[in-house]
A = this chain, B = another copy of it.
């Protein structure tokens, strides 16, 4: 890992947030808090930039483990922000009930669809609450994103789900660097050093990706340090997910 000055980075990000809020006359942030490191660090950054009274954390369980909610509370308690719980389980279940009208599908057939429906419902909920609290509190709330550089590079996110947000703060930091930011911001240890997972399965993100975030970070800094096999795995993930970034758009031919 390259030299990294967390204090300086935090100072610059805070300046960036304040500048954007001022320019656009914004008031607050609605932040989905998963109980993982990325949202913990973003919570710390937002509180530093906007004040704790302008940040609302949201837990969005969906047939989820209770533990993630407990870890989210560690974050909100530490930073002194409001924490709203919006359980999307009944919404998810209503959707699945409606699906029955289209036929009977095997677990294997709906597996991918189910996995990606959850972050899409979470995104829908965060934006719902942002517009609602904007009305109720008379100032504009926006939805910050929490994706880091490693996740973005390999496309580890759901199009229309956690890829939809109004401001992006960690996109230029590898997982290791996010941890350094978190240490500086005193994100609770249990949250900061937890193996990242989606809260939906028992697998960690790294299990599912088949590569380690540290290897992705190494790849981004100097790919020649990696074994050919790992390098190719990362390149394949990146290539296969490019369609999430570049939406093909027809432009007419000039005469």
Contacts and interface: CB of A to CB of B under 8 A. Distances in A.
A220 to B, nearest CB: 13
Interface in A155-181: 159-160, 164-173
B252 A160 contact: no
A84 interface: yes
B105 A132 contact: yes
A145 B99 CA distance: 23
8 contacts: A90-B98, A91-B95, A95-B125, A110-B135, A112-B131, A116-B127, A116-B131, A167-B249
A98 to B, nearest CB: 6
Nearest to A253: B12
Contacts of A90: 94, 97-98
* A-side interface mostly: helix
Nearest to A164: B160
A98 B129 CA distance: 12
A135 B160 contact: no
Contact of A136 (B105, B116, B121): B105
Number of chain copies forming the complex: 2
Interface in A71-128: 84-88, 90-91, 93-95, 97-99, 101-102, 105, 108-113, 116-117, 120-121, 123-125, 127-128
Contacts of A53: none
Contact of A252 (B12, B105, B243): B12
Leading 5 A-B pairs by shortest Cβ distance: A94-B94, A120-B124, A160-B164, A168-B249, A113-B131
Nearest to A249: B168
A247 B102 contact: no
A62 B111 CA distance: 25
Given A20-B248, A85-B101, A117-B127, 19 more contacts: A9-B252, A13-B250, A91-B91, A91-B94, A91-B98, A95-B125, A95-B128, A105-B132, A108-B135, A109-B132, A111-B135, A112-B134, A113-B127, A120-B127, A164-B164, A168-B247, A169-B250, A171-B249, A173-B252
